[in-house]
Amino acid sequence: MAAFDTGPSAETRARLTLAHRPRRNRKSDWARRLVRETRLSVDDLIWPVFLVEGVGRRDAVASMPGVFRYSLDRAVEAIEEAASLGVPAVALFPNTDTALRDERGSAAFDPENLVCRACRALKSAVPHIGVITDVALDPYTSHGHDGVLIGDEIVNDESVAALVAQALNQARAGADVIAPSDMMDGRIGAIRAALDAEGLDAVQIMSYAAKYASSFYGPFREAVGSDKTLRGDKRTYQMDPANSDEALREVALDLEQGADMVMVKPGLPYLDIVRRVVETFHAPTFAYQVSGEYAMIEAAAANGWLDGERAMMESLVAFKRAGAAGVLTYFAPRAAAALRRG
């Protein structure tokens, strides 16, 4: 059998005549760093933190490996550590005891509820970190919905009145940013007017302006304890995942009503929405890398199917590449530590 012909040697092989060889800019680490278009920094990270009553608690969330529910004392410790890594802000989400949940979400208006106590504790212990609070009734209602349920309907205007009261309660406790995640019509304008009327005009509003009725929220609902209480679904107020133009209408309304920042949720499956919002409005636009996204990366990494840290960082860069000003991500402390390591 004749030997396989490998062709001319490297010395005699004809060279392609190319004016452009893009690989030249990828040939080494220093070259790749020089031409890098998108950069992720710790300043882009917001850490969602789950809270639970008690002392000394750090309860694992089963569906989110590496994520915990913290009692206030442990939350302060964890957030101090995140702040030392440069994380600029945290977003607080309570797991409210079932005994405190009712049809109206009354605990949301209690100035001694878990979130309000956390705001005061953090403003005292870690005053240089931003505190973002979620405005929605689902952690407090016995039915698991974000608004007021009358019969089988989530009623809009009554819900807005309740959300205004919740927002004022959180702002009085020291929240820096009010983040309505409920998707009721008109709630941004009502909250802005109420804050301003009470002299809380410095409090910012980060609106969940384009929040979709997504299947990626399951682990979050376990973390806040609404997975077993939710009656039905949230499709009458959260957006249809098939819609894109609708997101622009929602964002436009929230900005007109006084939102300082807007958010798209979920994150990676909706990067097209992030890009459209940024290019249309040129307003500070954030994305939420939600619990299901986090859980998928962690599960694949645990099975050895991908490199978890590289996937984490790549996913966060994707948000910046799409134009997001920042990302709410459960990876925030780990990503901040990785960025510090370089």
Residue pointed to by tokens 């929405």: 273
Weakly modelled stretches of the chain, pLDDT under 70: 1-13
Domains in the chain: ranges and CATH: 40-341 (3.20.20.70)
Whether the CB-CB separation of 31 and 307 falls below 8 Å is answered with: no
Q: Is the peptide bond before 139 cis (omega within 30 degrees of 0)?
A: no
Kindly give, in sequence order, each residue whose CB lies less than 8 Å from that of residue 183, ignoring residues fewer than 6 positions away. Answer: 146, 208, 211, 237, 238, 239
Kindly give, in sequence order, each residue whose CB lies less than 8 Å from that of residue 231, ignoring residues fewer than 6 positions away. Answer: 143, 144, 145, 149
Q: How high is the pLDDT of residue 6? A: 58
Model pLDDT for residues 143-153, shown as the tens digit of each residue: 999 999 999 99
Model pLDDT for residues 262-308, shown as the tens digit of each residue: 999 999 999 999 999 999 999 999 999 999 999 999 999 999 999 99
211 flagged as catalytic: yes
Catalytic option among 27, 123, 228, 265? 265
DSSP string, 314-328: HHHHHHHHHT-SEEE
Q: Is 250 marked as a binding-site residue?
A: yes
Q: How high is the pLDDT of residue 12? A: 57
Q: How high is the pLDDT of residue 9? A: 61
C-alpha 169/C-alpha 185 separation (Å) is 21
Catalytic option among 123, 211, 228, 234? 211
C-alpha 255/C-alpha 262 separation (Å) is 8
Predicted TM-score of the model (pTM): 0.94
Whether the CB-CB separation of 287 and 273 falls below 8 Å is answered with: no
Q: How high is the pLDDT of residue 101? A: 96
Whether the CB-CB separation of 335 and 312 falls below 8 Å is answered with: yes
Using DSSP's 3-state secondary structure scheme, residue 238 falls into coil
Residue 86: C-alpha distances to residues 73, 128, 253 (Å): 20, 10, 33
Q: How high is the pLDDT of residue 227? A: 81
What sign results for the dihedral spanned by CA atoms 287, 105, 167, 72? negative
123 flagged as catalytic: no
